[in-house]
Structure 1
Amino acid sequence: MSDRSQTIQISPEFPDEQLLAICEAADVIACECPSYLVQILNQVREFRRYTKECIDHFPDNAATHHWLSEQVSQVEMLLCLTIYELLQKENLIDEDNQLNLQQLSERNREIALSKVPC
């Protein structure tokens, strides 16, 4: 059984705290795909917050901004699901949706070291 101090409960919605913990554990990124996905997700979330602010600032265009916010929410859900499935494919999430941060960190180090010529 894994050390619970090195695990976090994962939800497919990926609150900001979970994304930060994943990025901190993956301090050696051998493949940039996970970090790109996290960056894109953060940008999508920022844009969604922006569209909600626009509703208050530009009430004449509220319908358009509500529509944009709904569309962006779908993109956010797709990105979260993609990140979640990537962690599953890499066997980093157990059956209880626990992500072992130490295992993630060690995996990335092993990949990076395997690419260093002897």
Structure 2
Amino acid sequence: MSDMNVVIKASELTDEGLVEICRAAEVIACECPGYIARILRQVRTFQHYTTNCIEQFPEDAETHRWLAERAGQVEKLLFQTMIELMQKENLIDESEHILLDKLSERARETALKQVGLAP
């Protein structure tokens, strides 16, 4: 269960913030926000990994710089996709804070509808 008191600024989406989004959307229903958050974290991890490879394997530095650059491009696209999805779903308030409680409630309502327990 996500800590609904956590404040996540949309423009500063950290790995910890991505974990909170995953927790808030963990109900078996439409998990798109959580799924994108998990992919985004994996891309960031890969980018850090390839950057470390530059030091560990200097003979392959050019390839690892290229991989890190490509991962950065993917990270930017996924980040923008996450923000746009949150905006489309009205999950970001006027202060640009992600509304974890609303995300969590929406996920629960969707799950209840899927099993016929909500109108």
State the TM-score, normalized to the length of structure 1. 0.84
Which AA in structure 2 matches 1:95?
A: E
**Aligned-residue offset at 1:16:** 0.6
Other-structure match for 2:61? 62
Other-structure match for 1:17? 16
What do you get for the CA RMSD once the two structures are aligned? 1.8
For residues 61-100 of structure 1, the aligned pairs below 5 Å read 61-100=60-99
Q: Deviations over 1:35-60 (max 9, x none)?
A: 32122212211211111111011111
Identity %: 53
| Contact 2:23–2:34 (CA under 8 A) maintained in structure 1 | no
Other-structure match for 2:39? 40
| Contact 1:8–1:99 (CA under 8 A) maintained in structure 2 | yes
- Return the alpha-carbon distance in structure 2 between the equivalents of residues 74 and 13 of structure 1: 17
Q: Decide which moves more: 77-86 or 28-37.
A: 28-37
Greater length-normalized contact order (CA 8 Å, ≥ 6 residues apart) = 1
Other-structure match for 2:50? 51
Q: Deviations over 1:78-101 (max 9, x none)?
A: 001101111110001012101222
Cα 1:102–1:30 change in 2 (3 A) is same
Stretches of structure 2 lacking an aligned partner (at least 5 in a row): none
| Contact 2:18–2:38 (CA under 8 A) maintained in structure 1 | no
Stretches of structure 1 lacking an aligned partner (at least 5 in a row): none
| Contact 2:26–2:34 (CA under 8 A) maintained in structure 1 | no
State the TM-score, normalized to the length of structure 2. 0.84
- Return the alpha-carbon distance in structure 2 between the equivalents of residues 87 and 6 of structure 1: 18
**Aligned-residue offset at 1:27:** 3.1
- Return the alpha-carbon distance in structure 2 between the equivalents of residues 100 and 34 of structure 1: 12
